Amino acid sequence: MKLVSLIVALLLAALFASSIFVVRENELAALFQFGRVVSTDFKPGLHFKLPMVQSVRTFDRRVLTLESQPEPYLTSEKKDVSIDFFVKWRIKDVSKFYTASSGDVGIANQRLLPVVRQALGKEINERKLAEVVSGERSSIMEQLLAQSSSAVEELGIQLIDVRIKRIELPDTVSESVYNRMRAERKKVANELRSTGTERSETIRADADRQRQVLLAEAERDSNQVRGEGDAAAAEIYAKAYNRDPEFYSFYRSLEAYRQAMHGRDTTFVLDPKSEFFRYFQEAPK
């Protein structure tokens, strides 16, 4: 009886163990009965199932990544570009996901990849090369995400983001693009240089005008001061002459001698009795 009770207890324990399952935070679970999905609405925690009749399969609920290899695409100008991208996605509907891919992430990626490629090809084909490689990239990714999201609903997945990693051009196209960019930069540089030259000429002309004005005003002021000084000097000389004409004449003669006999080798060819040598001949009275 003890042996039978032990066997029964073990069978009950095994039966109980096979009737419970745990769903983790990073998992989604699907409950199968005879190979058909009967329930997918399981929150993280401990759950029960019918042993021997029902089975459980878990799936990764985290964000998954699909990366593509570089693929050639044609622009509206029929020019080739090589583009690679990556897609961030996660499982949204476990039942649809299992039906579409048998719960295999690799199969889901294989079905997702052509959908995104087709949408990307459509967006690239509607744009010119310059738009693809410059300012239209954000718009392309927004449209790509919107179109691909609606197309993959039947796969039971949700697209989080679609990003273009690189856009590479063939050598001939690259050279053409670089030449055009170089020409545009050169045009802008020439315009800036022309504007700078024009402004520098304007500034230089204004500076020259102000210089001429300042010099004219300085010359005017100096002439005025010089005239006033000459007038004051003439007035002083006149007063000195009126006070003592003989001394004034003697002083002016000394000034003339000093200026005329500045050097040692000064030679005069004059009559010794001339007025210039007057004070050498007689003492002033």
Greater confidence (172 vs 243) lies with 243
Which whole-number Å values give the CA distances from 91 to 97, 118, 153, 252, 275, in the listed order?
7, 21, 10, 118, 128
- What b/e string do you get for 219-253 counting C-beta neighbours within 10 Å, with b at 16 or more? eeeeeeeeeeeeeeeeeeeeeeeeeeeeebeeeeb
How far apart CA 144 and CA 85 sit, in angstroms, is 11
| Angle between helix 137-151 and helix 105-125 axes, rounded to 10 deg | 130
Angle between helices 171-243 and 245-260 (to 10 degrees): 140
Residue with the larger pLDDT of the pair 178 and 277: 178
**Side chain identity at residue 70, one-letter code:** P
Find which of 5-19, 175-189, 191-205 is predicted with most confidence, using mean pLDDT. 191-205
Q: Which two tokens stand for residue 152?
A: 């993959």
Q: How far apart are CA 242 and CA 19, in angstroms?
A: 143
- Per residue in 124-135, pLDDT (tens digit) is 888 887 778 776
Answer whether residue 245 shows pLDDT above 90: no
CA atoms within 13 A on the CB side of 257: 12
Highest mean pLDDT among 81-85, 133-137, 274-278: 81-85
Task: Please answer whether residues 136 and 124 qualify as being in contact, where contact means their C-beta atoms are separated by less than 8 angstroms.
Answer: no
Q: Domain coordinates of the chain in residue numbers?
A: 2-60, 64-169, 177-243, 244-285
| The CATH fold of domain 64-169 | Tetrahydropterin Synthase; Chain A (3.30.479)
Q: Is pLDDT above 90 for 52?
A: no
CA distances from 36 to 40, 54, 266 (A): 11, 9, 136
Band (pLDDT 50/70/90 cuts) for residue 56 is: confident
Dihedral (Cα; 276, 280, 281, 285), 10-degree rounding? 100
Number of Cβ atoms within 10 Å of the Cβ of 61: 18
Please state the pTM of the whole predicted model.
0.54
Q: In the chain, where does DSSP find H-type helix? A: 2-17, 94-101, 105-125, 129-133, 137-151, 171-243, 245-260, 278-281
For 101-118, letters b (16+ CB in 10 Å) and e give: bebebeebbeebbebbbe
Q: Cα–chain-centroid distance for residue 140? A: 21
